[in-house]
């Protein structure tokens, strides 16, 4: 008997890179273990400013991948403006984002989503697709999936990696825009057979939005992590250096500047540490942050390495003496739990997290023994950097400490939860 097939509609899939890729990649890697075949309808191989060719090697050979090239309007504008190789101009991107918020609803990917809808509709007409799964952002993929599911009379699961409206990367410019975005979100929530969310806080918010009668349609499926391929690799690459590391996107991340200023303050108080401290920042970034590091006199100490292969980023996490976690802060980002938090915990290295103390991400970090500091304040972070450096001077590299409960967040396990969600959606439609 053949396995049921899920058609996954998303924009980000290898070789595109960035935080949004790994969740869907893990679904396609592990859903077959739980009885589901996968077809992915996604963007073209050049339709984002960050790429990682090594991620494409992790796509299972049995996964059917249908690419819809052309990308989003914003991606095209960004390429025209010189965004590539993991570095971009924050000022240029911000202007383009604001322009797209005025004219493209629900987002700048709406044109691509319409083309993807047509492709997905033709694929479901072959008759072997048992369910639809859409994963956002961009939110326009949900509208496309809704149309495909309705035309093919298939169950549909809408997966939210981030919230639709509250995430302040995109602020509706007028009341009309906000009302329209809200209307589109309600249309998706009310139409989907099942809804999954990457954080508990967001899942609870979606359940409240649906009301008691339909709240049980929402499920929490965390981002989780893929266990490292070489967890026992020797980390002693630079025993005479105290390595502070951040891996992840540094675009629209003001905390990047807070980290730079904290390093400056720490070294001003302990200038002898300049010879031994290195701060390695891995991931896409905005040029202004690198300029700020130069202005603070951190050339040769802070290194902007740009995007690297994901496996190399994981190895850097293992080699670090201190990992730093931050994300955008403010009420709009309360629901966000960065996917790299789970990877950091798997690395087992000491962690300092710049998070609002009551947020879900802070709760998870504290549970693992991390130090949680208030975001937006350089002084506490500077003091913590110096404290960790002095401890390293006195006692050497800290021992690894992986939380024993972390296994429940392995993506192979989480894919099993998603498989159950897909099965429930099928039964309820039968």
Q: What is the CATH number of the domain that holds 57?
A: 3.40.50.2000
Q: Which domain holds residue 50?
A: 5-224+411-429
- As for how many domains the chain has, the answer is 2
Give backbone dihedrals phi and psi of 373, rounded to 5 degrees, phi first. -120, 155
What six digits make up the tokens of 240?
């005479």
Examine residue 234 and state whether it is found in any structural domain, yes or no: no
Co-location of 106 and 163 in the same domain? yes
pLDDT at 73: 56
What six digits make up the tokens of 329?
């802060």
Bridging pattern class, strands 371-373 and 64-68: unpaired
> Could you count the other beta carbons within 10 Å of the beta carbon of residue 91?
12
Examine residue 118 and state whether it is found in any structural domain, yes or no: yes
> Could you count the other beta carbons within 10 Å of the beta carbon of residue 294?
11
Co-location of 284 and 387 in the same domain? yes
**316: Cβ contacts below 8 Å, ≥ 6 apart:** 245, 247, 280, 282, 308
Rounded average pLDDT per 10-residue block, the chain, 430 residues: 91 92 97 98 90 94 96 54 49 58 81 96 98 96 98 98 72 87 94 97 95 95 87 64 94 90 98 97 90 96 94 93 90 86 96 95 97 96 98 94 94 97 92
Examine residue 230 and state whether it is found in any structural domain, yes or no: no
pTM of the model: 0.91
Co-location of 328 and 282 in the same domain? yes
pLDDT at 236: 56
């Amino acid at each position: 008997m053949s396995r049921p097939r899920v058609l996954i509609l998303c924009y980000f899939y290898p070789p595109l890179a960035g935080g949004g890729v790994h969740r869907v990649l893990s679904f396609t890697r592990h859903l077959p273990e739980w009885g589901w075949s996968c077809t992915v309808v996604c963007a073209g191989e050049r339709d984002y400013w960050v790429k990682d060719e090594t991620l494409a090697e992790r796509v299972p050979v049995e996964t059917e991948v249908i690419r819809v090239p052309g990308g989003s309007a914003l991606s095209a504008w960004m390429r025209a403006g010189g965004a590539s190789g993991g570095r971009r101009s924050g000022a240029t991107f911000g202007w383009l984002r604001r322009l797209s918020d005025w004219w493209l609803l629900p987002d700048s990917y709406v044109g691509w989503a319409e083309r993807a809808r047509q492709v997905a509709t033709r694929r479901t007409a072959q008759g072997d697709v048992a369910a639809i799964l859409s994963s956002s952002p961009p939110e326009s993929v949900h509208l496309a999936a809704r149309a495909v599911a309705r035309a093919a009379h298939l169950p549909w699961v809408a997966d939210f990696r981030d919230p639709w409206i509250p995430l302040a990367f995109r602020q509706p410019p007028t009341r009309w825009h906000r009302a329209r975005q809200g209307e589109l979100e309600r249309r998706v929530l009310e139409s989907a057979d099942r809804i999954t969310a990457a954080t508990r806080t967001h899942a609870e918010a979606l359940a409240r939005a649906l009301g008691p009668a339909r709240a049980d349609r929402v499920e929490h499926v965390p981002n989780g992590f893929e266990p490292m391929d070489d967890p026992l690799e020797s980390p002693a690459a630079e025993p005479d250096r105290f390595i502070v590391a951040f891996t992840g996107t540094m675009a629209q991340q003001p905390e990047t500047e807070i980290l730079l200023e904290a390093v400056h303050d720490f070294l001003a108080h302990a200038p002898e540490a300049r010879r031994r401290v290195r701060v390695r920042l891995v991931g896409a970034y905005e040029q202004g942050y690198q300029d700020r590091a130069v202005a603070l006199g951190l050339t040769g100490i802070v290194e902007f390495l740009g995007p690297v292969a994901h496996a190399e980023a994981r190895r850097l996490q293992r080699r670090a003496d201190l990992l730093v976690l931050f994300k955008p802060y403010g009420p709009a980002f309360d629901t966000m739990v960065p996917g790299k938090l789970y990877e950091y915990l798997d690395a087992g290295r000491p962690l300092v997290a710049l998070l609002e103390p009551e947020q879900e991400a802070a709760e998870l970090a504290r549970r693992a023994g991390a130090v949680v500091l208030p975001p937006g304040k350089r002084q506490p972070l500077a003091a913590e950097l110096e404290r960790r450096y002095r401890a390293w001077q006195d006692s050497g590299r800290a021992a690894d400490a992986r939380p024993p409960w972390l296994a429940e967040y392995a993506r192979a396990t989480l894919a099993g939860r998603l498989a159950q969600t897909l099965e429930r959606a099928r039964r309820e439609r039968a």
